[in-house]
Amino acid sequence: MRALLELRERLKAFYGRYTSVLSIILKFALALGTYLFINMEIGYSSVFTSIFAVLIMALLSSILPVRAIPLFSAALITIQAFALGYDAGAIAFMVLLLLLILFLRFVPEDSLILIFLPVALYCGAPEVVPVCFGLKKKPLTVLSVGSGVVVYYLLDMLHRAPDILKAYGASDYAKRLQALAGGVFGNSEMVLNLLTLAGVLILVCAIRKLSFNGSWLAAVIIGSLFYPVLILLGDMALGTSHSLIVLAAGAGVSAAAALILMFFIFNVDYRKSEYLQFEDDGYYYYVKAIPKISVRKDDRKRKQAESPEQDELPPMVEKSPVNQTDLEKKLEDSLNHLS
Amino acid sequence: MVNQARLKVMIRLAEYENGEGKKALEIRKYYRSDYIAMDMIKTFFLTTVAYVLLLGLTAAANMDYLLDHIDQMDIRVLLTWLILIYAVMLGVYLAVSYFRSSARYKNARKSVKEYEENLEALDDLYRRKKG
């Protein structure tokens, strides 16, 4: 555990030191992965499927805010759909614009959900996204989760579109439009996934806010199990089918990813919880304070100086929830250097 | 010589202007009523566009049914339903827009308050020097 805590501190320090460079590299990797995924699913335009175009878009995305990635992705999807046919392009454009106007403009900070959810759905472990993001985001994030599901099924429909449209002539516009629009909106599996994943997110948000010990862990476990159970119930009701092994693996992956995330953002020692009670003129306060688990810097130095055979671990220390960095003092010091 | 006290305040002000205060300062340029009204007008147009798109997609997805039954439909009843759905959708979005922009304005006002205090402090420091 101690080694993990040290690793976490080192990673944090490393990220803090190279934030600007790492942020560009990470954005580039994320954008590249996203655009390649889209092109793998619906690579109809030879120009935009070429690695050149993808690299240029990824490079541009790396210097722009993260929210540029979903916007570029939406543009790429629309272009690829237009390359397939005007009808497919029109449907893709309308669906994406609808999502943007109705839902996404209320949650502009949730770009990562929109990027990860279609990929997670493709990999068969979609619950990993609402479980992980539910630990940090607000219930309103449900709008992004829903939009991510629709985007995945739009991609899926465009992927199958050549087969769907094969049955109709090029001038059967009405039939083609119906087949394409029905491919997105008439998909009962999409509705099932949308409702289930939205439910997972709301459940995780609600449970992790409860004050009992281990509420975050409970949120992760319940959220990860909720999805496969509801999907199986949905299968029975709708007559669809999902592999039990894939569902179980998805739940496992989701729980593992959320536990790793928890280690970084919510690593506390419940055994040292303190319950405080005090009052002022207007209120009584019942406060539960849980210390964060952390490794003190001098402990690390001491450990390095000691022999490697030493088995006994230095004590874990609790860190006050209040940020103890004295910014004022730092500023004072730097000003002294200036003058 | 560098005036440390003034520099400290100026750094704090610049940090706020370029960071968390960017949006708040933009919002505080408007009166509350103007800001909310602007957001609601934008919502009105966007919701109308969204409704037309939604209608178009629904019609496209049910094209066969529409073409087969268009002659049997009571256009007056259909229009009433369409207007009713539009009114409900618009009402919901306008309400969301109102509460959202009010909350944003309130938060911006709270956030800018400290910034304004720092501005006053800087002004005092300049006056003290002149005096």
pLDDT tens-place string over residues A175-201: 888 888 888 888 888 999 999 999 999
* Tokens matching residue A133: 């993001």
Q: What is the pLDDT of residue A309?
A: 45
Window from A115-124, A266-275, B109-118 with minimum mean pLDDT: A266-275
Q: Is A217 left (phi over 0), alpha (psi -120 to 50) or beta?
A: alpha
Which residues of chain A have a CB within 8 Å of the CB of B46? 101, 105
pLDDT bin (cut points 50, 70, 90) of residue A331 is low
Q: Between A95, A105, A339, which is nearest B57 by CB?
A: A95
Paired residues of A284 in beta bridges = A279
Q: Higher model confidence: residue A195 or residue A303?
A: A195
A274-279 and A292-294 as β-strands: parallel, antiparallel, unpaired?
Answer: unpaired
d(CA B53, CA B46): 11
Does A4 score more than 70 pLDDT?
yes
Does A88 score more than 50 pLDDT?
yes
The verdict on B96 touching A (C-beta cutoff 8 Å) is yes
Domain that holds residue B68: 4-130
Q: What is the pLDDT of residue A310?
A: 44
Q: What is the pLDDT of residue A110?
A: 87
Q: Between A and B, how many CB-CB pairs are < 8 A?
A: 54
Q: Which of residues 89-118 of A touch B (CB under 8 A)?
A: 91, 94-95, 97-98, 101-102, 105-106
Does A324 score more than 50 pLDDT?
no
Window from A25-34, A64-73, A141-150, A312-321 with minimum mean pLDDT: A312-321
The verdict on B46 touching A (C-beta cutoff 8 Å) is yes
pLDDT tens-place string over residues A197-256: 999 999 999 998 888 888 889 999 999 999 999 999 988 888 878 888 999 999 999 999
Paired residues of A268 in beta bridges = A292
Does B85 score more than 80 pLDDT?
yes
Nearest-CA distance A21 → chain B (Å): 19
Paired residues of A287 in beta bridges = A276
Nearest-CA distance B63 → chain A (Å): 6
Q: What is the ipTM of this complex?
A: 0.79
Domain boundaries, chain A: 272-338
Q: Which of A137, A253, A243, A117 is nearest to A190 (CA)?
A: A117
Number of domains in chain B: 1
Q: Which of residues 65-94 of B touch A (CB under 8 A)?
A: 67
d(CA A128, CA A224): 7
Q: Average pLDDT over chain A, rounded to whole?
A: 84
Nearest-CA distance B66 → chain A (Å): 11
Q: Between A101, A174, A339, which is nearest B63 by CB?
A: A174
- Best mutation target, B53, B96, B101, to test chain A (most A CBs within 10 A): B53
Q: Which residues are within 8 A (CB) of B94 and not within 5 positions of it... i.e. 6 or more apart?
A: B40, B43, B44, B47
d(CA B46, CA A73): 22
d(CA A333, CA A335): 5
Instruction: Please judge whether A178 and B8 are an interchain contact, meaning their C-beta atoms are less than 8 angstroms apart.
Output: no
pLDDT tens-place string over residues A37-80: 999 999 999 999 999 999 999 999 999 999 999 999 999 999 99
d(CA B119, CA B125): 10
Q: Higher model confidence: residue B93 or residue A178?
A: B93
pLDDT bin (cut points 50, 70, 90) of residue A286 is confident
Nearest-CA distance A325 → chain B (Å): 16
Q: Within 13 Å, how many C-alpha atoms sit on residue A264's CB side? A: 15
- Best mutation target, A98, A106, A165, to test chain B (most B CBs within 10 A): A98
Q: Rounded to two decimals, what is the model's pTM?
A: 0.80
Going by the DSSP 8-state scheme, the letter that residue B38 receives in this structure is H
Window from A48-52, A299-303, B113-117 with minimum mean pLDDT: A299-303
d(CA A186, CA A195): 15
- Best mutation target, B9, B15, B57, B67, to test chain A (most A CBs within 10 A): B57
Paired residues of A292 in beta bridges = A268, A319
Q: Which residues are within 8 A (CB) of A283 and not within 5 positions of it... i.e. 6 or more apart?
A: none
